[in-house]
Amino acid sequence: MERKLSKASRSLTSSAIQELSHLAQRCGAINLAEGFPDFPAPPHIKRAAVAAINADLNQYRHVQGICDQLAVMMKQNHGLDVNALTDFVICCGQSEAFAATILATIDQGDEVLLFDPAYETYESCIILAGGIPVNVPLEPPHWTLNVDKFMKSFTSRTKAVVLNSPHNPTGKVFSKEELEAIAAACCQMDCLAITDEVYEYITFDLQKHISLASLPKMQERTIITSSLSKTFSVTGWRIGWACAPTTIASAIKNIHVRITDSAPSPFQEAALAALQSPPGYFKSLKAEYEARRDFVIQMLSDVGFQISFKPQGSAFVFAELPKNWLVSDIEFVKVLIEKAGVAAVPGCGFFHGDIDDQNLRTRYVRFAFCKGSDTLNAAARKLQDIVGSTGHLQL
Amino acid sequence: MLLPSVINASPSATCETMLLRSSPSSSAFRYAARRISAVRMAATSTASEEKGASSVEKEQRNQLPSNPPPLQVAKRLEKFKTTIFTQMSMLAIKHGAINLGQGFPNFDGPEFVKEAAIQAIKEGKNQYARGYGVPELNSAIAARFKKDTGLEVDPEKEVTVTSGCTEAIAATMLGLINPGDEVIIFAPFYDSYEATLSMAGAKIKSITLHPPDFAVPVDELKSAITKDTRAIMINTPHNPTGKMFSREELELIASLCIENDVLVFTDEVYDKLAFEAEHICMASLPGMYERTVTMNSIGKTFSLTGWKIGWAIAPPHLTWGFRQAHSFLTFATSTPMQWAASVALKAPDTYFEELKRDYLMKKEILVEGLKAAGFIVYPSSGTYFVVVDHTPFGYENDVAFCEYLIREVGVVAIPTSVFYLDPEEGKNLVRFTFCKDEDTLRAAVKRMKERLHKR
């Protein structure tokens, strides 16, 4: 079937994307595109990893202490009673936890509901397992859940709902009411819920991250996936986990063991140190990210963006291009790289299903603010440099 | 649908892994498993979830079904339980037994490699690496491969780094094998081959290697490889038997693969533990590079099994499907360990010579001990495993013998029946490892000499 894709469609899409990437590299652009930090990881965690390597903890390992600590945190943060011995699977990042979960639960023809816009890998994983992704659009400008549309997306083949909150790319944190609606639907339809909570500790303005599993009757049908990466600025260490009811966790583990067998052992040891960080660590993490968020929103507003939706969590601003900027997101990013030397991500890549106004697909740009102050200051200066007499970006 | 591709890829941008990053040649498309092409199709399709839906299905979507499906776990898991290794390890701990079962060292890796990892962590190399590998490591892998085989490969287009060779195997099966494809494996086999082939929906054909020399049965091989065969999996040096595929055997397999257009997947993680014979890389045989995925890792060579740094070397048309699967399985591999691995692979010849010498001494201790204890010991040319026939002791099968060995003798071995499609074929054999320090090996040998009794 793939041979029937026209050469034109294939070549058109790839060259536009590749061009942006090469362009950013050629121009040495300041990178507000990638979702990983350019500031160092916390020293106490790096020390723990170094100590583990020196202590010869370098063979295949499962560090039960991680599960014990996670169980404590599940109880503290979400009121969940989880069995540390049977309900966790330590994986190579949330990426692998999610892949293993999908392979453990999704059969050929199973439908999986996703909220759009979405991190692209969910859909690919589902298809890899023979499942069918079904996209439920969140409604701009505030990316609200349309419960009616959501309910109508269920069929007799719906196996699971994937929920990413705090949300990439919009920065939305699903509200209690929205979670209740999702929970009600999952219970009524007897579906699984698979969550991606990697930004769980990065929420703003007193927003609390609520885990879907903590809602009534949800724990028995929810698989939580998360990782160290964003919370501890160690995206390259590949330590993540899945937390699920025992039979499901066991199934996920059986898949994980055949995919990678185990997560890197020294970093498992360091994970223990990380997860045992004092409350002050998590407080500063939030405060620092909130300051970065505020800075970037100001930076964008100063050059003409009207940010109608302030991110409530995650490390991203999903900025809508002002109505009078008649360029597409890709064109905008290209100009930004060329003229201002700042890279961002065109939003169209995150939209999979229908959104009400098709034009909106190409009207969003995602900026990452998981960056040090030098980077952010430099980006702000560069953007200011190309502001015209209107006070807005000259495009 | 357009997907952004930016420098130093992050999964959030989902670009670096993206199928649309490079326009694959038609042969890459042809070789990649359909599930990979399906992902790409979904990515480029402009239709939404209505794609392919009949009008009946569309209507169904608008109604709430009255009979929601019961919760269930994917069918692909029906065959899989906890691995035998975990079971035996748990029993071993309970009885304080000396573990010669699980294949990882109880001594550590070399200082210079550990130092390199520590340096990398301190230097801040802690964020996402490029999905298919840190460039320095890709280059080091290519350089090592050239040194070992004479083959020159492009580190950017033909080398992909994974979380251990285990993931390389999973990515090969999921990326290149379609449901219903026939794949040949040699029994006894490392258990993840069968598991990942089942996940990929393959039809598995097993050819058994028999003691005493575990030679490839030529006639059976000739009738097994046909035009219907998609791929053949070869593990050399071989776990669990220690067999090393000879040049003649590999040449025979090669000619049958060329004749029938069959792919070859090789697992060569023990290539530096080749004692009695020369390790031969299938990809280096004439006409074979273009159809071979060569997999390896640092775990066994550098006694760092927990670091999970592995790789696959394959021509671009096979690498493409492999990389797609890898990107969905783990996306990227541990960054600091990759830097350390690039240092490790540049180790001088003396490192590898000493590694071999060391393991040979350990092997002698174990083999002498097993013979003296009463086992029938089969010669092992490579790896750090030895298989023996336990039947002189009078137990009805390998699992029963291993349980006795743990409880009454205080030593762990692995029952090999789990490495066959038909467990009956392996019931006379058990596997011991000698990747343990000498004191441990001597202690285990002592226990077996003193406590092993015929029933």
Q: Which of A92, A129, A354 sits opposite B163 (nearest CB)?
A: A92
CA–centroid distance for B243 within its chain: 16
CA distances from B76 to A168, A252, B167, B191 (A): 30, 12, 18, 15
pLDDT over 70 at B59, yes or no? no
Q: Which of A185-189, A193-197, B126-130, B446-450 shows the lowest per-residue confidence on average (mean pLDDT)?
A: B126-130
Asked if A57 is an interface residue toward chain B (Cβ–Cβ < 8 A), one would say yes
CB atoms within 10 A of CB A220: 12
Q: How far is B32 from chain A (nearest CA, A)?
A: 11
pLDDT in tens, B262-309: 999 999 999 999 999 999 999 999 999 999 999 999 999 999 999 999
pLDDT over 70 at A380, yes or no? yes
Report pLDDT for B42.
64
Helix spans in chain A (H): 7-26, 43-54, 64-78, 93-105, 121-128, 147-152, 176-189, 246-259, 265-275, 279-302, 329-335, 373-385
Report pLDDT for B72.
54
pLDDT in tens, A101-139: 999 999 999 999 999 999 988 998 999 899 999 999 999
ipTM: 0.83
Asked if A138 is an interface residue toward chain B (Cβ–Cβ < 8 A), one would say no
Residue B51 pLDDT grade (very low, low, confident, very high; cuts 50, 70, 90): very low
Measured distance CA(B413)–CA(B92) in Å, rounded: 10
pLDDT in tens, B177-192: 998 999 999 999 998 8
Question: B177 or B69: which carries more pLDDT confidence?
Answer: B177
Residue B37 pLDDT grade (very low, low, confident, very high; cuts 50, 70, 90): confident
> What mean pLDDT is predicted for residues A278-292?
96
Measured distance CA(A160)–CA(A23) in Å, rounded: 39
Q: Which of A16, A119, A130 sits opposite B35 (nearest CB)?
A: A130
Q: How far is B5 from chain A (nearest CA, A)?
A: 5
Q: In percent, how much of chain B has pLDDT > 70? A: 84
> Which residue of chain A has the CA closest to B300?
A59
Asked if A104 is an interface residue toward chain B (Cβ–Cβ < 8 A), one would say yes
Q: Which of A64-68, A359-363, B78-82, B443-447 shows the lowest per-residue confidence on average (mean pLDDT)?
A: B78-82
Residue B24 pLDDT grade (very low, low, confident, very high; cuts 50, 70, 90): low
Q: How far is B161 from chain A (nearest CA, A)?
A: 13
Helix axes of B34-44 and B316-329: crossing angle, nearest 10 degrees? 70
Local structure of A115: helix, strand or coil: strand
> Which residue of chain A has the CA closest to B169?
A259
pLDDT over 90 at B3, yes or no? no
Asked if A356 is an interface residue toward chain B (Cβ–Cβ < 8 A), one would say no
CB contact under 8 A, B22 and A192: no
Cβ-based contacts of B117 with chain A (< 8 Å): 53, 266
Give the tokens for residue B396: 């009805």
> Which residue of chain A has the CA closest to B72?
A105
- The CA-to-CA distance between both ends of chain B, in Å, stands at 69
Measured distance CA(A74)–CA(B154) in Å, rounded: 47
Q: Which of B12, B18, B76 sits opposite A103 (nearest CB)?
A: B76
Asked if A184 is an interface residue toward chain B (Cβ–Cβ < 8 A), one would say no
CB contact under 8 A, B77 and A258: no
CA–centroid distance for B70 within its chain: 35
Report pLDDT for B1.
24
∠ CA B75-B79-B81, nearest 5°, is 115
Q: What does DSSP assign to residue A363?
A: S
Residue B38 pLDDT grade (very low, low, confident, very high; cuts 50, 70, 90): confident
Mutate to test the interface with B, among A34, A196, A352, A366 (most CBs of B within 10 A): A34
CB contact under 8 A, A236 and B68: no
CB contact under 8 A, A120 and B18: yes
pLDDT in tens, A137-194: 999 999 999 999 999 999 999 999 999 999 999 999 999 999 999 999 999 999 999 9
Nearest to A66 by CA among A271, A258, A288: A271
> Which residue of chain B has the CA closest to A120?
B14
Rounded mean pLDDT of chain B? Answer: 87
Q: In percent, how much of chain B has pLDDT > 90? A: 75
Nearest to A196 by CA among A105, A119, A113: A119
CA distances from B73 to A226, B69, B84, B116, B435 (A): 21, 12, 21, 42, 37
Residue B70 pLDDT grade (very low, low, confident, very high; cuts 50, 70, 90): very low
Report pLDDT for B163.
97
Q: How far is A247 from chain B (nearest CA, A)?
A: 9
pLDDT over 60 at A237, yes or no? yes
Give the tokens for residue A82: 């989880």
Report pLDDT for B64.
40
How many residues does the structure list for chain B?
Answer: 455
pLDDT over 50 at A364, yes or no? yes
Report pLDDT for A354.
65
Report pLDDT for B335.
96
Contacts of B402 (CB under 8 A, 6+ apart): B88, B101, B412, B413, B414, B415, B430
> What mean pLDDT is predicted for residues A328-335?
92
Place of tokens 């999964």: B11
Whether the CB-CB separation of A30 and A341 falls below 8 Å is answered with yes
The full DSSP string for B339-385 is HHHHHHTT--HHHHHHHHHHHHHHHHHHHHHHHHHT-EEPP--BSSE
pLDDT over 60 at B67, yes or no? no
pLDDT in tens, B303-314: 999 999 999 999
pLDDT over 70 at B77, yes or no? no
Cβ-based contacts of A104 with chain B (< 8 Å): 73-74, 77
